[in-house]
């Protein structure tokens, strides 16, 4: 039996941005469901964080995601088992009040899972583990210890895995807790990675500049062989262009790549100022969602530029560099994790 695995869809992300919602819609209607049709997939397992807002929902976004995700699944007779993630819960110490159970009651093909549960998929027993909090911690540990399932799907925070590309998490569960399983798949961290028997599936699309140039998509899981097939999302919403009119004519580029994207133009070499103005004007005519021009690179050698150096304005990078420069005996990795948590919460704060 083959099952589609998807996680961290974050409907309503970026403060209920319509541009991002349209970006999500394009993925589901032009990539996700066409692939499921092609492979005749009739079961989806969602590994948590279906919705982005913990405290409330935007009705327009809810109506939209119901159409392009939940209605599309129901029309195809696709069953959805949906783990509750930390973004789906109203309280931080219990999963009892959660958005999937409250917002999706009319979908008889959707089964929200708010407590540990063993399910069988074509004779393959899988332990389903929603977000572990203080309210279900003891029961979750008992289930992990006593289960006879060889596969575990959850929404975990496991130490040693990258939350975003280049940003490793140093807190949470010890990976050894899951040694008994042949395969563990998890949502929560948006960077796709594998270490030993544990795979973080990653989210299906870019949400921030931290996701740039980091492949996104979903997986097809074979319950018999335990094989995971990654299907990459061909669409992006973040585009970085290195402007260099010494080696080529930038006006010959395909400007369609900038349309409805967040764009960074990194000026490596600008010999012809008039041509540069023409280039920027053409970029604006494609209606980018945002255009940033990074031009002051005097402290760098043009032939030694790296993405890390060019991302200095990214908030997470600045926070990490600030902590690295502190004169303190405190655990800097722990401080970085706290700063990142505050940053993510601040992004979702609305007056």
Compute the distance between CA of residue 51 and CA of residue 187 in angstroms, rounded to an integer.
Answer: 13
Confidence band for 341, pLDDT divided at 50, 70 and 90: low
Nearest Cα residue to 128 out of 159, 163, 152 = 152
Q: Which residues pair with 287 in a beta bridge?
A: none
pLDDT digits (tens, 9 = 90+) for 239-296: 999 999 998 999 999 999 999 999 999 999 999 999 999 999 999 999 999 999 998 6
**Please, is 145 exposed, middle or buried when counting C-beta atoms within 10 Å of its C-beta (0-12, 13-18, 19+)?**
exposed
197-220 mean pLDDT = 97
Q: Are 237 and 205 in contact (CB under 8 A)?
A: yes
Count, residues in the chain: 351
For residue 100, pLDDT beyond 80 = yes
Contacts of 12 (CB under 8 A, 6+ apart): 21, 51, 52, 53, 57, 58, 61, 62, 65
Neighbouring C-beta atoms of residue 296, cutoff 10 Å: 8
What's the confidence (pLDDT) of residue 324? 72
Q: Spell out the domains of the chain, with CATH numbers in brackets.
A: 2-232 (3.60.21.10), 237-299 (no CATH), 314-351 (no CATH)
Question: CA dihedral in degrees (3, 161, 183, 28; nearest 10)?
Answer: 0
> How high is the mean pLDDT of the chain?
91
What's the confidence (pLDDT) of residue 308? 47
Confidence band for 79, pLDDT divided at 50, 70 and 90: very high
What's the confidence (pLDDT) of residue 332? 77
Look up residue 171 and give its two tokens: 């807190």
Q: What share of the chain is helix, strand, coil (3-state, %, to 5)?
A: 35, 25, 40
pLDDT digits (tens, 9 = 90+) for 164-193: 988 899 999 999 999 999 999 999 999 999
CA 290 distance to own-chain centroid: 21
Long-range contacts at 22-25 (CB < 8 A, ≥ 24 apart): 22/260, 23/205, 23/235, 23/237, 23/260, 24/65, 24/68, 24/205, 25/64, 25/68
For residue 304, pLDDT beyond 50 = no
């Amino acid at each position: 039996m083959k099952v589609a695995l998807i996680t961290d869809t974050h409907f309503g992300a970026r403060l209920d941005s319509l541009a991002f919602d349209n970006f999500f819609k394009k993925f589901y209607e032009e990539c996700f469901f066409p692939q499921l049709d092609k492979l005749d997939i009739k079961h989806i397992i969602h590994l948590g964080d279906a919705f982005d807002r913990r405290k409330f929902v935007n009705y327009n976004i809810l109506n939209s995601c119901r159409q392009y995700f939940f209605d599309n699944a129901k029309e195809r007779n696709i069953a959805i088992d949906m783990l509750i993630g930390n973004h789906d819960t109203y309280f931080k110490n219990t999963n009892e009040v959660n958005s999937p159970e409250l917002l999706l009651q009319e979908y008889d093909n959707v089964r929200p899972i708010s407590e540990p549960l063993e399910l069988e998929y074509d004779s393959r027993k899988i332990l389903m583990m929603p977000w572990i909090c203080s309210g279900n911690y003891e029961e979750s540990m008992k289930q992990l210890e006593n289960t006879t399932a060889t596969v575990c799907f959850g929404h975990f925070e496991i130490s040693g895995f990258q939350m975003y590309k280049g940003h490793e998490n140093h807190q949470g569960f010890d990976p050894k807790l899951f040694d008994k399983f042949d395969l563990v798949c998890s949502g929560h961290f948006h960077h796709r990675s594998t270490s030993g028997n544990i795979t973080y599936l990653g989210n299906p699309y870019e949400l921030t500049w931290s996701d740039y140039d980091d492949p996104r998509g979903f997986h097809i899981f074979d319950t018999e062989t335990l094989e995971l097939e990654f299907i990459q999302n061909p669409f992006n919403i973040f585009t970085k262009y290195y402007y260099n009119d010494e080696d080529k004519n930038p006006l010959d580029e395909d400007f369609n790549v900038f349309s409805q994207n967040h764009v960074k133009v990194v000026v490596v070499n600008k010999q012809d100022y008039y041509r540069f103005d023409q280039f920027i004007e053409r970029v604006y005519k494609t209606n980018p969602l945002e255009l940033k021009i990074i031009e002051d690179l005097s402290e760098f050698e043009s032939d030694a530029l790296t993405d890390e150096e060019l991302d200095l304005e990214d908030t997470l990078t600045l926070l990490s560099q600030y902590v690295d420069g502190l004169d303190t005996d405190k655990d800097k990795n722990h401080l970085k994790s706290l700063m990142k948590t505050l940053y993510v919460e601040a992004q979702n704060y609305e007056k």
